[in-house]
Amino acid sequence: MAFELPKLNYEYTALEPNIDAKTMEIHHSKHHNAYVTNLNLAVAGTDLEKQSIEEICAHISKHPAAVRNNGGGHYNHSLFWKVITPNGGGVPTGNIANAINTAFGSYEKFKEDFTKAATTRFGSGWAWLVVHDGNLVVTSTPNQDNPLMDIADVKGTPLLGLDVWEHAYYLHYQNRRPEYIASFFNLINWAEVNERFAKAK
């Protein structure tokens, strides 16, 4: 198979109480798994089988909707599992801390902007911190789109992404998306974000 469901670096229970074990299990083993299965079906027998998911996203306007939806779903979730971690959160460290201060004025202002992007994304989608033309920018995308895609309003290299589909929080938080977003800041893996930032520059 061209694409595979990545293993998590932690147990489904490890992000409690911020994200409950049942949500993690269903989100990873059912939702993400379905994006991988359907992406593989959509690319089977085409030259997309040999492309990386990043390359596929970069030219997404040329591909069928099944590739856009499931390819985006695979890329987005693969990033999401890595940018959250048990014992994560707190203020950023390393180069990303300075870059956030330069771009947003302070970590608190970044948090406010990111929270607003995640809260106001109507329906299903994602909030992002990206490198766009050398600058850090907060943006959001609908459905399983992402800033790597040539159709994105704000294009860039994703450093941090938050899934705000109801399947990401509804079991525990029901309609309380803002509480789920607040909990995300307890989980951010700043070491991972720094690694992505170093490669994006």
Among 147, 163, 173, 180, binds Mn ion (CB under 5 A): 163
User: Contact, 14 vs 28, CB < 8 A?
Assistant: no
Question: What is the nearest approach in angstroms of Mn ion to the Cβ of residue 133?
Answer: 28
Q: Which is nearer to Mn ion, 104 or 163 (CB)?
A: 163
Q: Element (H or E) spanning 21, and its range?
A: helix 21-26
**Residue showing the smallest CB distance to Mn ion in the complex:** 163
Binding segment for Mn ion among 63-71, 146-154, 161-169, 176-184 (CB under 5 A)? 161-169
Examine residue 145 and tell whether it contacts Mn ion (CB under 5 A): no
Question: What is the nearest approach in angstroms of Mn ion to the Cβ of residue 31?
Answer: 5
Q: Supply 192's token pair.
A: 């991972």
Q: Which is nearer to Mn ion, 109 or 167 (CB)?
A: 167
Q: Supply 10's token pair.
A: 């932690």
Dihedral sign computed on CA atoms, order 199, 56, 181, 117 = positive
Report CA-CA distances (Å) from 135 to 42, 78, 97, 150.
Answer: 34, 23, 13, 18
Q: Which is nearer to Mn ion, 72 or 92 (CB)?
A: 72
Binding positions for Mn ion, rule: CB under 5 A: 163, 165, 168
